[in-house]
Chains A and B, each alone.
Chain A
Amino acid sequence: MQRTEIKIGGFGGQGVILSGYIIGRAASIFDGKYATMIQAFGPEARGSACSAQIIVSRDEITYPYITTPDLMVIMSQEAYSKFTPELAVGGTLITENELVVTHNLRKDLRHYSIPATRFAEELGKKMVLNIVMMGFTAAIADVVSVEAMRSAVKASVPKGTEDLNIKAFEKGYEYGVELLEKVAAGIQVS
């Protein structure tokens, strides 16, 4: 059925929901797949660990909630502690490496991290860290095509900020591609 369950975790204000929205929009509008996104409502959406859940599938999505996510993008320590136990065995974990210390990391996971905050600061706006993470995710995870992700970023960010956000996206994407090349060449990373 090719159903991929994705959870984005961070704290309120980091652009967690927008990140989920970009993945879902990329898949369903620009990649011709199906996507269902569910936002977490309630106190967790306002300050502490918040999350967005997205299902991407080649077929129509019936059951709308995620149960065991295959892919997780984590941008805060609290989200790491709260959400990563849910990850599927052999799942993929993507973290922001200055915001998340991956203590007691499960051995079965494929883990990739990126200094997205630093890259965002170098671009002049810390706010775009979530878009750096999305570029990185596009490179690492085989869920949505990079072209679709790029189109979704352009279409989803506030008008006038497209160039900055695309730069942030490319930065994350390039870092991800290089990281995968290093992994393939057997070079020790992270």
Chain B
Amino acid sequence: MHADPIGVLTGPHFIDGDHACSEGAIAAGCRFVAGYPITPSTEVVERIAERFPRVGGVFIQMEDEIASSIAIQGAVWGGKKAMTVTSGPGFSLMMEHIGYAAMTETPCVFVDVQRAGPSTGLPTMPAQGDMMQARWGSHGDYGIIALSPNSPQECFDLTIKAFNLAEQYRVPVMMMMDECVGHMIERVIIPAAEDIKIVPRRFYEGPKEEYRPYEPERDLVPLMVKVGKGYRMHITGLTHDEQGYPNMSVNTQGKLVRRLVDKLKVNAERIIEFKEDKVEGADVVVLTYGISSRTAIPAIEQARKEGLKVGHLRLVTVWPFPERRIAELAGCIKSFVVPELNFGQIALEVERCAGGKASVHLVPHAGGTVHQPKEIYSAIRKSLKG
């Protein structure tokens, strides 16, 4: 299935990452957005509010982020594709409902344009401090998907991908942008509608009386129905059986929660996307995501010019984490260098996956700007001294 041409502004544009995200959502078929505008994500909803009336969408400026993050889930069960948009302080408020989306398997997209925290921090400046929060922020065990764009073009492309993954696996998908990428203006090429692949919602089509809302398919993902079409539905955040009804037994809990975790594990290889540059034969691999994948390039080029064997592994999907690839690489290289606009979040995951076979060198940054390439360059040099 491809995109509905009504929402697709085919052609080259010179726009910022926030606006590109809005266009990606519209192209993906999103027709409901609820949000409580917050810097540096405001431009996303500004553009949505302006564009939605022309494509038949509904935007609601809600009373807060808690309401926004549950309104979108109502819209999804009503048949729409939906997202909410925020930054750190709002993302914190949304955690309860991210858990609800995971538990009820409501496909939806959360956009977090990260700014420096904690708390209100630096509203107009970048950070990558919400990466662990995106994965673990709500209570209990569950899985989510998180994507990390490094340009306005990717803000467009990955927002479409986020909606597609949400529908494919019925999970909340996090678009983990940052202020730099969100406010940066660059060329964004929007393809023709027929060249944009859209994953439609997966609907149950069998007899009404046999429908079991939480009975999984082979890929561990259950099918949805259109509410109001005569199917018996029950949606709850309580532990539920395949019929969707609350069932407070150890067995049901074990079966349900295991599946919520496993559906991401068994499909991980299909979900995970990363980009590699000269990692084969490298002594050190710089592992990056988001804006840091760009600031690392001058450092990598400098080190290569001086004869060092430096590879670059850039995560496009941060969650689920590419555990297998990192473990493989750890056996072949001396060290990983991980620049992050935080004090060590993804670096800890790299360390876990490397299992002591390669050393891991964090290049920390409190946020407020991006790394200077020379900081990353020094870390590359230092990591080889062992």
Footprint of B on A, CB under 8 Å? 21, 24-25, 28-29, 34-39, 41-42, 61-65
Q: Is the CB of B12 within 8 A of A35?
A: no
Question: What are 21 A-B residue pairs whose CB atoms fall within 8 Å in the complex?
Answer: A24-B185, A28-B186, A29-B12, A29-B13, A29-B14, A35-B14, A36-B184, A37-B14, A37-B184, A37-B185, A38-B184, A39-B183, A41-B124, A41-B183, A61-B294, A62-B297, A63-B297, A63-B373, A64-B294, A64-B295, A65-B369
Q: Is B291 at the interface (CB under 8 A from chain A)?
A: yes
CA gap between A20 and B370 in the complex, in Å: 21
Which of B14, B298, B370, B373 has a CB less than 8 Å from the CB of A24? B14
CB neighbors of A among B354-386 (8 A): 369-370, 373
Within 8 A of A (CB), among B294-344: 294-295, 297-298
Nearest B residue to A20 via CB reads B185
Given A29-B14, A62-B295, output 17 extra A-B contacts at Cβ < 8 Å.
Answer: A25-B14, A28-B186, A29-B13, A34-B186, A34-B187, A35-B14, A36-B184, A36-B186, A37-B184, A38-B184, A39-B185, A61-B186, A61-B294, A62-B294, A63-B294, A63-B295, A64-B294
Tell me, in angstroms, the Cα distance from A21 to B187 when the chains sit together: 11
Cβ proximity bits B28-61 to A, threshold 8 Å, 1 near / 0 not? 0000000000011000000000000000000000
Q: Which of B13, B184, B185 has the most chain A CB atoms closer than 10 A to its own CB?
A: B185
Question: In the docked arrangement, what's the CA distance between A28 and B180, Å?
Answer: 19
Contacts of A36 in B (CB 8 A): 184-186
CB-nearest residue of chain B to A52: B185
Are B184 and A64 neighbours in the complex by a CB distance under 8 Å? Answer: yes
Number of interface residues of B (CB under 8 A): 20
Give the most central of B180, B186, B369: most A CB within 10 Å: B186
What are the 4 tightest A-B residue pairs by CB atom distance, in nearest-first order?
A41-B124, A62-B297, A37-B185, A25-B14
Q: Are B183 and A35 in contact (CB under 8 A)?
A: no
| B370 near A64: Cβ-Cβ < 8 Å | yes
Inside 8 A of B294's CB, which chain A residues have their CB?
Answer: 61-64
Per the bound structure, the CA–CA distance linking A29 and B185 in Å amounts to 12
Q: List B contacts of A61 (CB < 8 A).
A: 186, 294
Q: Please indicate the chain B residues that have their CB under 8 angstroms from the CB of A21 in the complex.
A: 14, 185
Bound CA–CA A41/B170 (angstroms): 37
Measured CA separation A41–B185 after assembly (Å): 14
Cα distance, A24 to B185, chains bound together (Å): 8
Once A21-B14, A28-B186 are accepted as A-B contacts, the answer to whether A63 and B124 lie under 8 Å apart by CB is: no
Least Cβ–Cβ distance between A175 and chain B, in angstroms:
27
Q: How far is the CB of A148 from chain B (nearest CB, A)?
A: 12
Q: Nearest chain B CB to A103's CB is how many angstroms away?
A: 31
Chain B neighbourhood of A37, CB < 8 A? 14, 184-186
On chain A, the residues within 8 Å of B183 by CB distance are 38-39, 41
Q: In the complex, which residues of chain B have a beta carbon less than 8 angstroms from the beta carbon of A38?
A: 180, 183-185
Neighbouring B residues of A29 by C-beta, 8 Å: 12-14, 187
* A178 CB to nearest chain B CB (Å): 30
Quick check: B298 and A63 within 8 Å, CB to CB? Answer: yes
Q: How far is the CA of A41 from the CA of B39 in the complex (A)?
A: 10
In the assembly, what is the distance between CA of A29 and CA of B40, in Å? Answer: 25
CB neighbours (8 Å) of B185 from chain A are: 21, 24, 36-39
Compute how far the CA of A184 lies from the CA of B180 in the bound complex, rounded to whole angstroms.
42
Specify which chain A residues have a CB less than 8 angstroms from the CB of B373 in the assembled complex.
63
Instruction: Tell me, in angstroms, the Cα distance from A64 to B124 when the chains sit together.
Output: 16
CB neighbours (8 Å) of A63 from chain B are 294-295, 297-298, 370, 373
* Shortest distance between the CB of A8 and any CB in chain B (Å): 13
Known contacts A28-B14, A36-B185, A37-B185; is A64 also within 8 Å of B297 by CB?
no
**In the complex, which residues 204-228 of chain B have their Cβ closer than 8 Å to any Cβ of chain A?**
none
Minimum CB–CB distance from B377 to chain A (whole Å) comes to: 12
Shortest distance between the CB of B87 and any CB in chain A (Å): 13
What is the CB-to-nearest-CB distance from B114 to chain A, in angstroms, rounded to a whole number?
15
A65-B370 in contact given A36-B184, A36-B186, A41-B183 (Cβ < 8 Å) = yes
Residue of B nearest to A30 (CB): B12
CB distance from A40 to the nearest CB of B (A): 9
Specify which chain A residues have a CB less than 8 angstroms from the CB of B370 in the assembled complex: 63-65
Contact call B298/A64, Cβ cutoff below 8 A = no
Contacts of B297 in A (CB 8 A): 62-63
| Cβ distance B277 to chain A, nearest Cβ, rounded Å | 12
Distance between B303 CB and nearest chain A CB, rounded to angstroms: 14
Chain B residues within an 8 Å CB radius of A34: 186-187
Taken together as a complex, chains A and B put the C-alpha atoms of A147 and B306 apart, in Å, by: 41
Give complex CA distance A35, B186 in Å. 6
Given A28-B186, A37-B184: A64 and B291 interface contact (C-beta under 8 Å): yes
